[in-house]
Structure 1
């Protein structure tokens, strides 16, 4: 019999706030991590600039389809296992407990790198905005610390409160992007053309790079399962929210990328993306005579990044909580706030890591030849792309785990849910993972030593190896803790036990 909340009781200080968020709030939490305006301002121009491929909008549809395949099995599994550790618990149930701990290492480090890396672009964007709007020169790291302080407060607040704050910020993002899309089609210097959504302009030399770059726009789509223990209906909320989020952001990204290309003009989209980068949507609005709207858009870009920081912070904090609750790491990490039900210790740990990272990059970047671009070219680029590498690898492993899990017990699901869709996801995600490896040098740029190309992926893989070794150590030294791995949340059905030999 599986370990359930009845057989392994937790103290009040080891429980998240139950039944506190519904499907709409969960969708906002998922989309906040994907940051729609950040993708339009940063991801889309970067893809056009680096790949020199006109068909970039179609990459979001292709990637969205792959992730929908993944979401089918992922959603079915989330209806059976409710655990704040998500990937950790799913891999443990499908592939084994040691493999589950390996997945927890991958997830913890990857989400950490993603969250910390975002402080680089947040600090840069806020510093630039203050210089442009009010003429105040503030160092990027001071601006990053402002964001850090806000995230620290929201991280220990009740999840429903964070969801409401993120909901407002996400709605603002969609409104601004929708306005940018509207003016793009209204002014369209070369007319409303389908050039950038024609398959002939998608299949080319830069296709692999486009998919490798584009997948970063979806990172965080899987985070709904991390909140499963806090949802009002664990069996239905996560699958529904994941389907809605993946479908919405896939179509919205593809449409908005196409709109941006129409607003700039297909003949100029690549060159202007290379020239203006993340400023391109706002430069375009300014060119249309809407400078005030462009300034508002840049303000909302700051809030978009803040929303993503909070979302990834929450993910890391809950992984810390899940591992601490099961005594895989120190029990302190499994403590929650009696007042808010938030994973207090995990949040404090992530806040501390963020502070250390900001200080390290601030000191290292003092007097750097890259000037004001330093946090973008190093902290943001290095860490977030390494995180994308780790998270895609984790999705590949989870796809395999889903297949193995339902092979042990179909739970009434048909072959499409148990095998076909997860297998298609496994093939598609494996292909994207290979593309990331082949293009990793391009993704992290040439702002650091050449060794970064293998050091950053090695750090991710090493985290998984350490997790596996920790599992083997627990198997030998503490069988009781080992037996409970991945079962700290709500088990909705008996799960097979892994033998100790």
Structure 2
């Protein structure tokens, strides 16, 4: 009989558990390269450089954005020290909530599971808005055709949903190709910017701590930390990697380091190309068009046209990455009783979490349709609901992920203290504590400045309704966990255990059979 852990029988694709092959994700599908490309795709490098950076420069007036990426990279590297160590001990597609359940208790894990599902789903759905807006603009510019943004958005939903049903290693190849091309084009721009700088030359002014001052710093922190989202997803794929105790932590540090360096250099290149004294005004005037104006002047129309296309494919890669994560969270929650059992099943052909993928596809269709119905603005109008879809959902998701990282830091400390390993892990626990406090501070800034973050008017209900979505997810998740504890204590006790729970099921069934055998023997 198979053991409770996933194990390889006749081949790397034949993964079984005590409860059956459809209750486990296929192991050995991802190595270091495949996993790294999958998680980096969520950071959408070109979307950040073309969209987030000009917004941070122009709206928040923070010239020191390159330095901000270095600082946040250090904070998230601190967070990763404890988080990576936890990944060696817990392999579960429910990553965040599994870690929180193992450290802070199953009820806290139930609360975190719903926050993760809502946060990553919001980030994924939000990208459909900016993708639809950009594709609509491409049709208007190059084909002189007016195309409603929701048409390409819904087509992207369908294609993403289809890929979500397929093998994760195929998804990784799709993500990898798209990611490498867009990164290469951004690097070409960086080189061109340093080779042909603005009137101030190659200046280091953006790295002056004084360049971080200003009332928009809190909001800039929120935007920039959202650019890192993706690195923390590597434990979600632990059950599908070869040697998860090594690969997951390695990928996490590689992702944090790459994102910090890549975005720091690219933000610096923008300041060099425009001049540090002019970057705020230039960004405020051009908005997301800043990068394309700069490439047009330095690299020509053909390069800029290709960049526009890669802007779209990069967003698609981010959507697919987030879709895969949401599907796996839903799978883990279904397997452990936090969602209906149907979500805890995989596609028998590909091994993908098919029901979770379908759930995210349906949610995406409903949200895109809701924003499309309320859109009465002309095509291409940046004040239209399509842009609200991107900013509102992205901000909600970033807040949720930041809070999850803070809670996971506390869970890491509790987990090792309970195991009596605090002394051996003291430096990792200190890193987790410091990063947890810093992340809580960033989350506080996010809530405080949420109105500015989503472009709401002063006094608008959006300033508390949108972050209230995450608050509601916390409350509903905790209540659900408390009800499970009272009504289904055995299921509650297994929250966060993942495949390890199969061993408990097997042991319980074997004990039950042994008891029946003893009774039959006594009766005879």
TM-score normalised by the shorter chain: which range applies? over 0.9
**What is the aligned partner in structure 1 of residue 178 from structure 2?**
169
Alignment of 1:6-405 (within 5 A): 9-190=18-199, 191-288=201-298, 290-367=300-377, 371=381, 373-405=383-415
Greater displacement, 162-171 / 213-222: 213-222
Across the aligned residues of Structure 1 and Structure 2, the Cα RMSD in angstroms comes to 2.2
- What CA distance in whole angstroms lies between the structure 1 residues aligned with 2:441 and 2:382? 36
Give deviations 1:417-437, integer Å, cap 9, x for gaps.
442110111121111111111
CA distance in 1, matches of 2:394, 2:367: 13
* Distance in 2, Cα, partners of 1:415 & 1:125: 48
- Work out the CA distance in 2 between the residues paired with 1:312 and 1:379: 16
- Report the Cα offset of residue 398 of structure 1: 0.9
Range 468-477 or range 484-493, more displaced: 484-493
1:5 corresponding residue in structure 2: 5
Given that 1:53 and 1:204 are in contact with CA atoms closer than 8 Å, whether structure 2 keeps it comes out as yes
Judging changes above 3 Å, is the alpha-carbon distance between structure 1 residues 449 and 383 closer, same or farther for their aligned structure 2 residues? Answer: farther
Deviation at 1:135, TM superposition (A): 2.1
> SS state of the match for residue 82, structure 1?
coil
> Match of 1:429?
439
Q: Name the TM-score, length of structure 1 as normaliser.
A: 0.94
Match status 1:456 vs 2:469: no
* CA displacement at 1:205 relative to structure 2: 3.8
Could you say what secondary structure the match of 1:79 adopts?
helix
Report the Cα offset of residue 416 of structure 1.
Answer: 4.4
Larger CA Rg, structure 1 vs 2 = 2
Quote the offset at 1:373 in angstroms.
4.2
* Cα separation, partners in 2 of 1:377 and 1:79, compared to 1, 3 Å: same
CA contact (8 A) 1:28 1:170 kept: yes
Structure 1, unaligned runs of 5 or more? 495-501
User: By how many angstroms is 1:123 displaced?
Assistant: 0.5
Question: What's the offset of the Cα at 1:278?
Answer: 1.2
Instruction: State the shift of 1:153 in Å.
Output: 1.2
Cα distance in 2, alignment partners of residues 221 and 377 from structure 1: 26
Larger RCO (alpha carbons 8 Å, 6+ apart): 1
Contact 1:110 1:390 in 2 (8 A): yes
The separation in 2 between residues aligned to 1:387 and 1:454, in whole angstroms, is 15
1:419 is matched with which residue: 425, 429, 450?
429
Distance 1:178 1:289, change over 3 A: closer
Q: Deviations over 1:283-317 (max 9, x none)?
A: 11112251111111111110110010001111110
C-alpha spacing 1:485/1:81, structure 2 compared with 1 (3 Å): same
Contact 2:416 2:422 in 1 (8 A): no
Q: Would the aligned equivalents of 1:166 and 1:307 in 2 still touch at CA under 8 Å?
A: yes
- Contact 2:194/2:272, CA 8 A, preserved across alignment: yes
Instruction: Normalising by structure 2, report the TM-score.
Output: 0.90
The answer for the alignment partner of 1:498 in structure 2 is: none
* 1:176–1:120 distance in 2 versus 1, CA, 3 Å: same
How many angstroms apart in 2 are the aligned matches of 1:17 and 1:433? Answer: 35
Q: In structure 2, do the counterparts of structure 1 residues 436 and 423 end up closer, same or farther at CA, with 3 Å as the change threshold?
A: same
After superposing the two structures, state which structure 1 stretch, 126-135 or 377-386, moved more. Answer: 126-135
Quickly say closer, same or farther: Cα 1:93–1:248, change in 2 above 3 A.
same
CA distance in 1, matches of 2:328, 2:247: 18
Give the total of aligned pairs.
492
Q: Which stretches in structure 2 are left out of the alignment for 5+ residues?
A: 7-15, 505-524
Measured after TM superposition, the shift of residue 328 of structure 1 is: 2.1
Cα gap change, 1:74 to 1:289, in 2 (>3 Å)? closer
Q: Distance in 1 between matches of 2:220 and 2:279?
A: 15
